[in-house]
Structure 1
C-alpha cells in the first residue's frame, strides 16, 4: 500500500479527519482525485490502484470476463487483422480502429498483470496483504516521515491461545475466525492505514505518517482494537470473544531505517505483551530493547553452560521423621557460572523455559542424578531413590518415557530407583492430555511419582487419585513458623489426615528448625527435607555426608553448601 494521504482538488473529501497535504505544504502537491470518484464507496487504496475492487468494477462494466492472459492473447491476434481490414476496406478508419484496440489490449494486459501480482501479495483467508507488502508500505511511510518531520508506527496484534483454537475448531473454523477478526480490525482504523496478515494468528498494521503521534494515541488505538472484539464472533455454532496481545513501535522511538526493522520492534513488544496476559499493550522502548538483548545474551550463556557441563546436579537428603532413616535424595539444578559462582534455579529456569532449553536441562540433571545413584551403589552407600523435577514442557514431550528408559538402562538401574516430582499446579492445569499420559507411562514402568509443593495449587482428592501418586510433598508455607503460629497447625493436620486416609506418604519441605521438626513428628508427618539436615550439596559433598552420617537418631545441621 502506498502510505500517503490523498485529497481532492478542493478539500480532503476522502480523509476529512486528516489535514490536507496540499494546504500543509503547497510547494509539494500530492496527487489529487477527481471529486466525482469520491461519490463511489472507494477508499484511497482503491483509488490508488492498491486494491482491485474499483478496477474489477470498471472491467466488469465494460464486459471483460475470464482470465486476463487468454484475453490479451486473443486481442493481440485480432488487432493486426482488424487494422489491415480497416485499411483495405475503409482506408483511414482502419487506423482509428487499431488505435482504439491497442490501448485496450494494453489495458487488459496491465489489468491481468496487476491482478496476478495482487493475488500473490494477498492472504487468501482474510484478503489482507502479506508481510512483504506491509514492509514496503512501512518503507514508504518512513521515507515520508523523515522528509516531512512526521511520525509513523507499526503494530503487531496476535490472537492468544491460538493452538487451542486450532485443536477445538480445526482449519475451517479458525479461518472463519481470522476472517471475522480481520474485518473487525479494519473497521477500527483509518482508511489510509494498512493491515496485513503476517502469519498464523498474527496481524500487522502500518500507520500512515502523522503528527503528533505519542504513546497515548497508540493506547487509544489499542483500546479501539480491543473494543472491536467485545461482541462475540460466531464460529462453528459457538460464540467466541478472542483475546489479543498488542505490540507497537513508533518510528521516532526505534529510529528504524527500514520497515522490516520497525515491524521487528513491534514484534518484540508484542511478545512482551503476550507474557503479561491477554488484552495487554506494550510499546517498544530502549529499555525494552536492552532488556530483551540481555535476556538473549543470558539464554546464549545458558546454552554455553549446557555445552560445557556447567549445569550440575546438587543433592539434598530426605529422611524419615520416626528414625532418621534415609528415604532418598532430591537432585536439584545449579549453574556454575564462569566466575565460579553458583546460580540458583530461580535465576535461570525462566530463561531456560523461554529459550526452549528445558528439555536439554532436564535431561542433563536426570543423567547426572542416575549416574550419582549408580556411583553410590558401587561404593556401598545405599540411597533408595533419587528424585528429579520435570517441567510441563518435559512432561508434554512424547519421547519422555523412551528417554527415561534409556537413561535408566545406561546406568543399569531399575525404574523404582527413580522418583519423578510433579508440581501440583501442573496436575491441576489439565490443559495438555500428554502430561497425564506420560505420567501414567512412567508409573506403569515402575517409576515413583511425587506431588510437589502440595497446598499451593487447587488439587482435589480426584486429582490426587487420578494417577498413582506415592507421596505428597507439603509446601514450606505450611511448615514455616509452625511452632509460633498456632493457626497453621489445623491446616497441616487436615492435609496429613487426608493423605493418611488415601494411603499417601507425606514429606514436609523446607524444615529449618528443631521446633518445626518436633511439631511435624507430633502431627504424624512421615518424612522431612530441609536445611535442618543440610543444604543441597555437590555430589562429592553428598558422598561424604552419606559416609559420615549416623545410622539413626537425631540429625544435626551441617552447613556444607
Structure 2
C-alpha cells in the first residue's frame, strides 16, 4: 500500500489506536467492471457516493469510512470485540449489497470483505492493518468471493509476500502480455497484434484488466506500461526470428501515463535498446486525449512520439469527443470503431448507418479503420463488404499468450495463401 494511505489512516484514527483491539474492514466491489459498463463514469460516481453514505450510516459517528481506490472501501472499527466487529461487517456488507436505482437502472453491488483485527495490546496502526488487508484481499481464493473473512495481521505470514499493487505485480513478473490479432479484411493476413495486460495472480489465477485496473495509481500505470511495452517489443523480435510477417504491435497508453513528462523519452529509449523501429509500434490512445481535454505534457509526448515515427490509433472511436482535433494535431493513422457500434451491425440498420458514416469520414481523412469487438462471422462479413480495413475480436481469436501466437500465425498464413484476396470491388 502506498505510504500516503498509511499516513492518512494513522492520522485520522490516532485517537482510537491506543487501546488495542484495532480492526479494519475492507470491502471490494466485485462486479465493478460490469457495473461500469452499464452505468458509465457518471453513474459509477453516483454509486460510490451512495455506498459511502450506506457504510457511514451503518457505523458510529467516529468510525472512519474511506475509499482506498476505485471499488475498495475501508472502515475503521476501533475498540470492538471480534464478535461485534464481524457482526458489524456482515451488516455493512448486507446494506452495501442492497439494490439501488441509478440512471433508470436497478443494479446490485456485490461486496467481498476482509476483516483485519489486531488483538495485541501494542495496537498495530490502522495504516499497517489496511496494508495487510489489501494483501489479504488480493490473495483470497475464488470460493471466498462475496463473503467476509477474518484475519489477524502476521508479518511472517507468507501471504504478505503477495503483491498488493499492480506495480509490485509488474516488478515481480506477474503481469504478462496476451496478444490479440488484427486481420486485414481484403487479404486475410495479420496486420498486427494488440498487447493486452493480464495478471497471473498466485492465488486468484489469471486476472483480466477489469479486475485490477480501476483505482490504479500513477506508479501502477507507469510500471504496467513499461512491463507490457517490453514484452510487446520482445514479441515483435520473436515473430521476426520465427519467420512470420507481423508488421506492428499495439499498446494501450493511458492518459495517466501520457501525462508523465518523461514518458516519450523512456519509450523511445526502450525502442532503441531493443532495436525496434518506432514505425512498428502502435500507440492506442482514447478520444479524450484530444487537445481540449489532455494536459500539455500529454500533447508534447504524443507529438514527439508521432514525429519519431510511432503510429497512433484513436481507440473506442465514437464514444468520446475532440476526435477531429486529435487526428489533425497528432497524425492519427487509424481509428478503432468501438464495439458498441459493431454489435449487431449485420442486421441493425442504425448500426450500419453509424459505421458507414465513420468509414466515410476516415476515407475523407485518409486514415485506416479497424472494427474492434467483432464476435460473429456475420459481423465480420458485413464489415468486409462495406469497406472496413481491418477487424479484431473473438471471431478471429481471443487474446493468447505469446507461445500460442506462432501456431496461430502459421495457420492463418496458410489460410490466406489458399484464398484469393477479397477486394472491396468484389465484395460489393
Secondary structure class of the residue paired with 1:456: coil
TM-aligned CA deviation for residue 372 of structure 1:
1.0
Once the two structures are superposed, residues 462-520 of structure 1 have per-residue CA deviations (whole angstroms, 9 ceiling, x without a partner) of 33212110000000111111122121111111111011100110000011111111211
Q: Does 1:529 align with 2:392?
A: yes
2:251 maps to 1:444? no
From 188, 204, 214, the counterpart of 1:350:
214
- Partners of 2:311 and 2:232 lie apart in 1 by 15
2:55 and 2:379 map into 1 onto residues whose CA distance is 52
Question: RCO higher in 1 or 2 (8 Å CA, sep ≥ 6)?
Answer: 2
Distance 2:312 2:76 in 1: 44
Shift of 1:248: 11
* Aligned match of 1:490: 353
Q: 2:176 aligns with which of 304, 312, 315?
A: 312
1:336 deviation in Å? Answer: 1.1
Distance 1:368 1:420, change over 3 A: same
Tell me, yes or no, if the aligned pair for 2:255 and 2:298 is still in contact at 8 Å.
yes
Indicate the residue corresponding to 2:195 in structure 1: 331
TM-superposed deviation, 1:403: 1.3
1:369 aligned partner? 232
- Please state which structure has a larger fraction of its residues in strand: 2
Of 311, 320, 325, which aligns to 1:462? Answer: 325
**Alignment partners' CA distance in 2, 1:341 and 1:251:** 34
Question: Structure 1 residue 253 and structure 2 residue 60: aligned?
Answer: yes
1:361 is displaced (CA, Å) by 0.8
1:342-395 CA distances to partner (integer Å, 9 max, x unpaired)?
Answer: 1111111114x2473110011000000001111111221121011100111110
Structure with the greater alpha carbon radius of gyration = 1
1:313-355 CA-to-partner distances (Å, cap 9, x unmatched) read: 011111110111221111100111214721111111114x247
Gaps of 5+ in 1: 1-130, 147-244, 256-261, 277-281, 556-561
Distance 1:460 1:379 in 2: 38
Structure 2: tracts of 5 or more residues without a match: 1-7, 20-51, 78-88, 94-112, 116-129, 139-162, 422-428
1:429-465 CA distance string (max 9 Å, x none): 6241211111001001110000011011123423321
CA–CA distance in structure 1, aligned partners of residues 204 and 289 of structure 2: 33
- Answering whether residue 340 of structure 2 is matched by residue 477 of structure 1, we say yes
Higher helix share: 1
- Hey, what does 2:32 align to over in structure 1? none
**How many angstroms apart in 1 are the aligned matches of 2:386 and 2:361?**
13
RMSD over aligned Cα atoms: 3.7
Question: TM-score of the superposition, structure 1-length normalised?
Answer: 0.49
CA contact (8 A) 1:254 1:284 kept: no
Contact 1:428 1:458 in 2 (8 A): no
| Number of aligned residue pairs | 305
Aligned pairs (5 A) from 1:29-44: none
1:406 deviates by 1.9
Moved over 3 A (4+): 245-252, 282-299, 301-304, 551-555
1:136-171 residue CA offsets vs partner (Å, 9 max, x unmatched): 9x95x999xx9xxxxxxxxxxxxxxxxxxxxxxxxx
